[in-house]
Structure 1
Amino acid sequence: MPMHVSYNWLLVLLSYAVSVLGSFTSLQLAVAIPLATTPRQRTAAVAMAGGAMGLGAIWAMHFIAMLACDSGMHVTYAPSLTALSAVVAFAACSAGLMLVGDALFSWLRLLAAGSCMGLGVGAMHYLGMAAMMMPAVISYNAGLVVASLVIAIVASMAALWLAFNLRGPWQMVASALVMGFAVCGMHYTGMTAATFTDNGGQLPDGYADGLRGDNLGLTVFGIVGTLLVLMLVLHYWRQRYRSSISI
């Protein structure tokens, strides 16, 4: 019998907040990609912006929102699949930024980069779902799965376009708010596609060794939020330092 799902609204709000902060940080850091003069500088700029977007705006949002989901049963998360989902998110966002970061703009290139990034985000989401260990099985509505992937691709294309076409601080704030909404839209569409069915109380192997904790969502938000703020502070400090020595 399908199980009823409810949400912890504090964690839902925190998942949106970390997605907005990650999106804003990534948009700020992406400015350095086309300005890089050496392959090493470009790789570092892509990795920083890709990390902020992939690990902050997308993966942390996803994991916190997963913890916000209450299906009425105890759930733990397989560490290996959870870690793999984070790697996939980072790699997909970095690849998208790499594809459009140093070339003349074209809609075809943006579509390719957005598709790469969006499908990677989708893979991250469903890997994260597969990491759930609980006395239930998950089935999916194929139409909603496709819808979630389309949202991920469109949101990724928007993020990449914004990263290289907006420079004003208030424009970036507005863009980050929209991006946070789009990322959350993809996640909760994917969650709506899932149906949890009780399997009679049978726990999967490794259940006891999975990630869990009553305050895990708050902990992830605190750690990732702090790292994103530190990245922003370092970025602004480097900008001021470069401005001072160029005068």
Structure 2
Amino acid sequence: MEMEVSYNWFLVSLSFLVAVFGSFTGLQITNGMKSSSSGPSPLWIAAAAVSLGGGAIWTMHFIGMLAYQVPMDIGYLPGPTFASLALAVVAVGIGIFIAVSGKLSIVRLLGAGLFTGLAVAGMHYLGMEAMVMPGSTMVYDKTLVAVSLVIAIVAATVALWLAVNLKGTAIMLGSAIVMAIAVCGMHYTGMAAMSMIHNHDADQTIIENSMSPMTMGLFIFCASMLLLVICLIMSLNQLSSKIEDDMQDEPA
């Protein structure tokens, strides 16, 4: 028997805001790298990957899972949860490295978008496997899973293109909102593809080896917000330094 599902719309809204903040920070950093005379550095690529992969995508994903409510206790296995975080950050970092290293041709963009999108989708479903409930089994609608994969690939491709080609704070903010809509669309499509079915043969004690949603949620939200603020401050300092350098280089 399938369980009745509802959503906490406050957490759904919070997940969208986190996605906007993370997307804006990642776009700001990546655009700064692209316009820098020194080119991309491992530090800035890591900062952009943490902002986009860890903030806009993974933190949004986890808060979105917390918004998922069923009439029984839910726990999260730490191993798959943090493995999904690592996958999101590394995959987005590779995609950003491809995007900012030289001219972004159509072939490179599509290749990077395909790789990053599939990895992000893999992050989502790995994170979903971390969600456990006693006496229940997780099943998926294959059609909706396929739709979520397409959304992830398109969103990743568009995100990489925007990160390289945009200029201007207002344009970046608007693009961050578009990216957040795409990221949330992929996540909630993937959530809609999943159903929890009562299964008396399933492990009834698995919840004992998991962490409570509130414990993990508070830790992840606070850590992610701290990292995003640090990354945004770094990017703004970088932008300020570039403006000062450009002014000094102007002829008197």
TM-score in terms of structure 1 length: 0.92
In the alignment, the residues of structure 1 paired with residue 145 and residue 37 of structure 2 have an alpha-carbon distance, to the nearest angstrom, of 38
Shift of 1:107: 1.3
In the alignment, the residues of structure 1 paired with residue 203 and residue 181 of structure 2 have an alpha-carbon distance, to the nearest angstrom, of 35
Deviations 1:109-128 (A, max 9, x none): 11100011100100000001
Percent identity, please.
42
In the alignment, the residues of structure 1 paired with residue 190 and residue 37 of structure 2 have an alpha-carbon distance, to the nearest angstrom, of 37
Shift of 1:207: 2.4
SS in 2 for 1:214: helix
Give yes or no for the alignment of 1:62 onto 2:61.
yes
Task: Tell me, yes or no, if the aligned pair for 2:31 and 2:166 is still in contact at 8 Å.
Answer: no
In the alignment, the residues of structure 2 paired with residue 115 and residue 98 of structure 1 have an alpha-carbon distance, to the nearest angstrom, of 14
Task: Tell me, yes or no, if the aligned pair for 1:14 and 1:221 is still in contact at 8 Å.
Answer: no
Give yes or no for the alignment of 1:72 onto 2:71.
yes
Shift of 1:215: 6.2
Deviations 1:168-191 (A, max 9, x none): 110000000010010000001001
SS in 2 for 1:196: strand
Give yes or no for the alignment of 1:187 onto 2:155.
no
Shift of 1:216: 4.5
Give yes or no for the alignment of 1:37 onto 2:33.
no
Task: Tell me, yes or no, if the aligned pair for 1:36 and 1:42 is still in contact at 8 Å.
Answer: no
Taking a change above 3 Å as real, the CA distance of residues 26 and 228 of structure 1, as seen in their structure-2 partners, is same
What runs of 5+ residues in structure 2 fail to find an aligned partner? none
2:158 corresponds to: 158
1:231 corresponds to: 231
In the alignment, the residues of structure 2 paired with residue 204 and residue 51 of structure 1 have an alpha-carbon distance, to the nearest angstrom, of 36
SS in 2 for 1:195: strand
Task: Tell me, yes or no, if the aligned pair for 2:137 and 2:202 is still in contact at 8 Å.
Answer: no
1:196 corresponds to: 196
2:103 corresponds to: 104
Shift of 1:203: 3.7
- What is the number of residues matched between the two proteins? 245
In the alignment, the residues of structure 2 paired with residue 100 and residue 93 of structure 1 have an alpha-carbon distance, to the nearest angstrom, of 10
In the alignment, the residues of structure 2 paired with residue 214 and residue 80 of structure 1 have an alpha-carbon distance, to the nearest angstrom, of 17
What runs of 5+ residues in structure 1 fail to find an aligned partner? none
Task: Tell me, yes or no, if the aligned pair for 1:32 and 1:45 is still in contact at 8 Å.
Answer: no
SS in 2 for 1:103: coil
